Chains A and B, each alone.
Chain A
Amino acid sequence: MTQHPLIRVRDLNVHIGGHHILKHININIPDKSVTSIIGPSGCGKTTLLKTFNRLLDDTAEVRVTGSVLVDEEDIYASGAEVTHIRKKMGLLSQRPYPLPMSIYDNVAYGPRIHGIRKKTDLDDIVEKQLKDTGLWEEVKDRLHTSAAKLSIGQQQRLCLARGLAVEPEIILGDESTSALDPISTHKIEDLFVRLKEQYTIVLVTHILRQARRISDYIVFVYMGEIVEFGPTEELLLNPKEELTKQYVKGFIS
């Protein structure tokens, strides 16, 4: 594991409404690989993911201390530009949330926000991202119909294409397959594996088998603290910590 760390978290603490949700988090997330955050529900794994692109900013009564460095830039520094930080990361949420517009406009939304106006440029981006996510053949004849008409699995891939269209460095997945059927899940997982050539991928999942199938590294979070971090096989087969062992065996869930 000599890969260069892209995201570095230093002594991160998150309080929401008086509760200490994340406690003294320190971690380096390696570049161009898939890292899964696992842990029982309510342990803070989704919160940890959201701190990476500052989506907690709008939550009421939230207090974040410590630092998260992406590309050596502290995203919680006072001068940090939040739209710039978020542009670096594509987010794939639990359920697909297509924007209330056509398939084409969903993918073109991000590029348009960031100033790309030329029709031919947008056409190229839309085609490329839809091809990358394997949707192109399925939707190329109905690009201008509402995205809500797609199946859930297609919607989720569309959301991924939409995220990739702003050319991020990182993809954040928050239990992105939990609403999908097995075939769609499989497709998304394949995509993640393929995409790690170009992107750093951080996934939150509560399915151990999924973490095992697709991730290179695993972070185990319990009660707001990181218990263990390591390469997938090592952590699952040979955990160092007693808690990890119990979780992997299914005693804690």
Chain B
Amino acid sequence: MLILSIASVSFVFLIGIGLYWRAAPLFEEQTLLSLFSASEWAPSKGQFGFYPFIMGTLWVTLIAIVVALPLCLLTAIYLTEYAKPGVRSVILPLVNILAGIPPVIYGVWGIFFVVPIVREYIAPQFTDYSSGYTVFTGGVVLAVMIFPILVSIVSEVLRTIPKELKDASLSLGATKWETIKKVVLKRALSGIVAATVLAVSRAFGETIAVLMVCGNVPIAPTSVFDGGYPLPALIANNFGEMMSIPLYDSALMFAALLLFVIIFLFNLVSRIVLHRVESKYSAS
């Protein structure tokens, strides 16, 4: 059992090293900087610019968080502070079911529900033409996918806040909302940060659902109604043919390595942040 545990810890490094090893041939050709900044993607000519894909990933993730975070915060606050226990015990499990729905189902839903709405109703307000397959669409689908993470963790965090602390604020004449805004949310900040980081890392790596709705155009998006091409989609779409072109597999492994490193750093940073925030306000 000791060996298994140690093996599982070293497995993290094994994945990192394995991916690096496979991606290494690419570094002999190009510097890291040029890989990040170049926007030309032409595998047959040996050009591998990751800029459009990195931007695609960032846009989709950012949109997902911007859409999901306010909705989920409000929902979690409502469920824990205002809603009757009966309402809460119905809605929380419902939201949690979303976590079990497979990505491909989200993709199908995105194609038949979100894409037409974006194409017919939302995009025309801002731009001349949009196919509906945009980074915005991808972001919305992703937002729904991260609802359960955000709602369940934030509700859990809000529930742990002592009633006496809220009473202290209420008895000073604050309204319930003022208490939530100034005391509860402040106290819950570390938990909210943790939930957001988890949600972001989920959004970062989501592949199929996003691939199905965001257009897969290898150009860095300039508006939310442009198509985009996130890193995971790049890997998924091209893995089959990579063997025939030199360095192609290294480039795709590099994309996987990039995702891995980002997730790793996110977890590390969030741990440190959480630790800091907690030690600052926890009761002595």
Chain B contacts for A178, CB-based, 8 A: none
Question: Could you tell me how many residues of chain B have their Cβ less than 8 Å away from some Cβ of chain A?
Answer: 25
Nearest CB in chain A: distance from B168 CB, A? 5
Known contacts A93-B167, A113-B178; is A86 also within 8 Å of B162 by CB? no
Known contacts A109-B182, A148-B281, A151-B284; is A97 also within 8 Å of B172 by CB? no
Known contacts A93-B164, A101-B186, A151-B284; is A109 also within 8 Å of B171 by CB? no
Kindly identify which residue among B172, B280, B282, B284 contacts A166, using a CB–CB cutoff of 8 Å.
Answer: B172
Bound CA–CA A60/B84 (angstroms): 8
Q: Which of B154-191 contact A (CB under 8 A)?
A: 162, 164-165, 167-176, 178, 182-183, 186-187
Chain B contacts for A53, CB-based, 8 A: 171
Q: Contact: A87 with B173, CB < 8 Å?
A: yes
Nearest to A110 among chain B residues (CB) is B172
Nearest CB in chain A: distance from B18 CB, A? 44
Bound CA–CA A93/B187 (angstroms): 19
Q: Which of A80-104 contact B (CB under 8 A)?
A: 83-84, 86-87, 89-91, 93-95, 97-101
Bound CA–CA A150/B280 (angstroms): 12
Chain A, interface size category, equals: 35 or more
Nearest to A81 among chain B residues (CB) is B173
Q: Judge whether B100 is part of the interface by a CB distance below 8 angstroms.
A: no
Chain B contacts for A86, CB-based, 8 A: 170-173
Q: Mark B269-284, 1 if CB is under 8 A from A, else 0.
A: 0000000000011111
Chain A contacts for B283, CB-based, 8 A: 98, 148
Q: Judge whether B70 is part of the interface by a CB distance below 8 angstroms.
A: no
Bound CA–CA A53/B170 (angstroms): 9
Bound CA–CA A93/B167 (angstroms): 9
Q: Judge whether B240 is part of the interface by a CB distance below 8 angstroms.
A: no
Q: Judge whether A8 is part of the interface by a CB distance below 8 angstroms.
A: no
